[in-house]
């Protein structure tokens, strides 16, 4: 009887040991099978963390180069000056006429010097453009009468023909009033370099192109309003500068 009980207990212990070993082996197998998935999950987590860390880095900013404005573009040659009869030179050199900008190549201080008398004769019957001298009604030079005269008066006979001093385009009628309120009518003449208003003439037309020496109109008389005044026309640069160097 005791012998049978001993065998039964022994058998039960052996079964328990076998079952324990089998259970432990199954756990190990399960761990081995699941380990790649865990490794993959860890790899994914590492990649996500790396991506987040990368996103937090400051993005590269494209640096734009600031270009300093230098004003008008310089020419590549001096033809803009030489075609007008001028010469390019540094502006600290003496120019007997007048300097023009943006007609020369090179540095900004290199300007186009236009010679004196660059315009042809305006008034018919004259060999040169003679500025009106002083009389009872004032003087014809630029800035005369205490700086009030912003024009230059050229002596011309009444009703004489006025010719174009340079080739260009007629840009419509022009008018000017003197301090006394007297109005002078005329026409505007422009080209790619110069712009001048010619007053106290009756224009033949106000638009269209003209060549050098083409008739623009005729001089209007002034003696009825200003007794003893010399007959003349008036020249005014569109930018208000002195036209004397051109005449």
Beta strands of 44-182 (E only): which ranges?
87-90, 98-100, 110-114, 152-155, 161-163, 168-177
Of 79 and 56, the one with more pLDDT? 79
pLDDT band at 67; cut points 50, 70, 90: very low
11/24: higher pLDDT: 11
Residue 137: per-residue pLDDT: 83
At 234, list the tokens.
């008036």
Task: Give yes or no for residue 80 having a pLDDT over 50.
Answer: yes
pLDDT tens figures, 109-125: 999 887 766 788 999 99
pTM: 0.58
How many residues are recorded in the chain?
247
Q: Is the pLDDT of residue 132 over 60?
A: yes
Most confident of the ranges 141-145, 206-210, 241-245 = 206-210
Helices (H), 77-213: 79-82, 144-147
| C-alpha to C-alpha distances, 216 to 1, 143, 164, nearest whole angstrom | 153, 26, 6
- Compute the Cα dihedral for 43, 47, 52, 57 and give only its sign: positive
Q: Which two tokens stand for residue 122?
A: 């305006």
What percent of the chain is predicted at pLDDT more than 90? Answer: 35
pLDDT tens digits along 13-57? 776 767 666 666 655 555 444 444 555 455 555 455 554 545 555
The CATH homologous superfamily of the domain defined by 144-246? Glucose Permease (Domain IIA) (2.70.70.10)
Question: What digits encode the pLDDT tens for the residues 162-194?
Answer: 999 999 999 999 998 877 778 889 999 998 878
Report whether pLDDT(211) > 90. Answer: yes
Q: Residue 203's closest CA among 193, 216, 220?
A: 216
């Amino acid at each position: 009887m005791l012998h049978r009980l001993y065998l039964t207990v022994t058998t039960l212990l052996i079964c328990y040991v076998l079952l324990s070993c089998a259970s432990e082996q199954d756990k190990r197998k399960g761990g081995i099978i699941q380990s790649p998935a865990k490794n993959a999950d860890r790899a994914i987590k590492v990649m996500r963390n790396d991506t987040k860390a990368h996103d937090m880095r400051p993005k590269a900013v494209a640096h734009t180069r600031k270009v300093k404005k230098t004003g008008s573009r310089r020419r590549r040659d001096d033809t803009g000056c030489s075609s007008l009869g001028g010469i390019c030179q540094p502006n600290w050199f003496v120019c007997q006429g007048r300097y023009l900008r943006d007609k020369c190549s090179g540095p900004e201080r290199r300007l186009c010097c236009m010679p004196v008398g660059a315009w042809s004769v305006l008034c018919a019957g004259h060999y040169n453009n003679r500025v009106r001298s002083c009389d009872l009604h004032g003087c014809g030079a630029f800035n005369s009468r205490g700086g009030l005269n912003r024009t230059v008066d050229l002596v011309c006979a009444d009703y004489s023909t006025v010719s174009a001093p340079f080739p260009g385009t007629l840009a419509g009628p022009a008018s000017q009033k003197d301090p006394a309120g007297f109005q002078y009518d005329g026409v505007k003449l422009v080209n790619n370099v110069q712009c001048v208003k010619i007053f106290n003439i009756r224009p033949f037309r106000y638009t269209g192109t003209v060549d050098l020496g083409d008739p623009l109109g005729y001089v209007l008389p002034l003696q009825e309003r200003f007794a003893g005044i010399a007959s003349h026309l008036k020249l005014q640069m569109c930018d208000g500068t002195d036209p004397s160097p051109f005449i």
